[in-house]
Structure 1
Amino acid sequence: MADYQGVFKRYEKKFLLTDYQYKLLREKLEKYMEADSYGLHTISNIYYDTDDYRLIRESLSKPVYKEKLRLRSYGTPTSDSDVFLEIKKKFEGVVYKRRVSMKLEEANKYVIQRKQPSKVSQITREIDWFLKSYDLSPKAFIAYDRIALFGKENSDLRITFDTNIRWREDNLDLAKGSNGRQLLQPGQILMEIKIPGVMPLWMSQMLDELNIHSTSFSKYGTCFKNHLIYTFLQNLDKNIMITQIGGVHCA
């Protein structure tokens, strides 16, 4: 996997489609775009956060700058499969993604045990800083089935369609399979348009014709707001109770 792209800088626009909108849009896109060689494939992710979910809570407050760390695989890996450890940052609407490839076992030891990987690079040094800045642990598993398109005239123009988005907060290991509970409503499809600059006019017109509008959407953010927040609140209540008991005990 030595030829993978490790650095990305682009704008990402997200849209929630119905099945009907998706079918009409795919027909219209055939003139301008084509599917990549992977076809329909599964992407699995582990998202890391602090025990009080600091990263995702700050992200949902829509700051000018936000960042996250995740571990990604294509398909279900084994301990010696190649996976990607990624830092994803967003500043003033521009997405910066930096990733490095390593074996799953090595990645787990790196993030959880802080054992340095065999290959050190500028990206691993950035990840080192991230790990030193936050006390992170695995918080959510999110997987989905994806079809990716790229522009016939401009391969940097990409559109992805994610279906069957599912999540779990146990078995937080990519090797444990891609099963999970559904994150979206039945029939919803997440589309992401990834562009290096301005959206082509033909694409803007196409979206207008189909009444497709961009939305603010985060898979991990939605998972937190709809599900993980209850774990957060339970832990918060426990911490308050412990503090109160501790205060009484010390009085």
Structure 2
Amino acid sequence: MNNIMTFKRREIKYLLDDDVYNSLKERLQARLVEDEHGRSTICNIYYDTPDFRIIRKSLEKPVYKEKLRLRSYGTAGAEDKVFVELKKKYNGIVYKRRETLTLAQSDEYLAGHTKAPCDTQIFREIDWFRDYYGNLKPAMYISYEREAYYSLENPDLRITFDRNIMYRSYNLSLAAGVEGESILEPGQHLMELKAGGAIPVWLTKVLDELGIYPASFSKYGRAYLSQVG
């Protein structure tokens, strides 16, 4: 499922403490299966302008917002596969486009030293984004430990749990290892529901019974606000 290069879906976030997380996992275990990555460490480099124009605009909660990031599963070497991702959100719907490159290729491409290796619609969208914002540079490293599942009844429904979310504004490379300052409080987990359609009634009922309600949360936004104080 993670090899799909385009997504259009709703993404709903929730903050859970350990007790609620454990209760929910117990309730869901018969309905979910781990996806191909299962449990993994996800590392990201977010790109922004020197004055953080992109994240500052996103924090204003506009109807439309967008982000550019580089993602790897674990610390990446120069020849390891990484994803260049353009994430857009319009009126509550998330649209994600991504292409695969080696880390060395992606660093050269996003720095403007080389052109896209092939002419695809996704690379054209990324090029337009880079041209529109101008002087984009690595701005923030964010990593987290993720459990990823999809529904046995509807594989289009995905549920992820993130913990140990960390950020740093130095050593902005996916090759530099996992370290940084924590974003979440001890014992907190960030859950995301990702669905192309409506959330099923059975899941809505479970969330309601456990008192789990949506929360506004942006990893990059929270990291930026922590940095600027």
TM range (shorter): over 0.9
Q: Match for 1:220: what amino acid?
A: Y
CA distance in 1, matches of 2:172, 2:28: 37
CA distance in 1, matches of 2:36, 2:55: 33
CA distance in 1, matches of 2:113, 2:166: 28
- Counterpart in the other structure of 1:46: 45
- Counterpart in the other structure of 2:192: 192
- Counterpart in the other structure of 1:146: 146
Q: Which secondary structure does the structure 1 equivalent of 2:184 belong to?
A: coil
- Counterpart in the other structure of 1:118: 117
The two structures have a TM-score, normalised by structure 2, of 0.96
CA distance in 1, matches of 2:38, 2:57: 35
The two structures have a TM-score, normalised by structure 1, of 0.88
Q: CA RMSD in A?
A: 1.1
Select the structure of larger CA radius of gyration: 1
Aligned counterparts, 1:1-251, within 5 A: 4-134=3-133, 135-227=135-227, 229-230=228-229
- Corresponding pairs, count: 227
Richer in helix (by share): 1
Structure 1 residues 149-194: Cα deviation after superposition (integer angstroms, max 9, x where no partner): 1000111100000011111110000001111111111011000000
CA distance in 2, matches of 1:136, 1:206: 43
Q: Match for 1:97: what amino acid?
A: K
CA distance in 2, matches of 1:58, 1:36: 33
Structure 1 residues 114-135: Cα deviation after superposition (integer angstroms, max 9, x where no partner): 4113222110111110110112
Shift of 1:38: 2.6
Q: For the Cα contact (< 8 Å) 2:80–2:103, is it kept in 1? A: yes
Q: Which secondary structure does the structure 1 equivalent of 2:101 belong to?
A: strand
Q: For the Cα contact (< 8 Å) 1:106–1:117, is it kept in 2? A: no
Q: For the Cα contact (< 8 Å) 1:167–1:181, is it kept in 2? A: yes
Structure 1 residue ranges, 4+ long, deviating more than 6 angstroms after superposition: none
Q: Which secondary structure does the structure 1 equivalent of 2:217 belong to?
A: coil
Aligned sequence identity (%): 49
CA distance in 2, matches of 1:183, 1:30: 27
Richer in strand (by share): 2
Shift of 1:29: 0.4
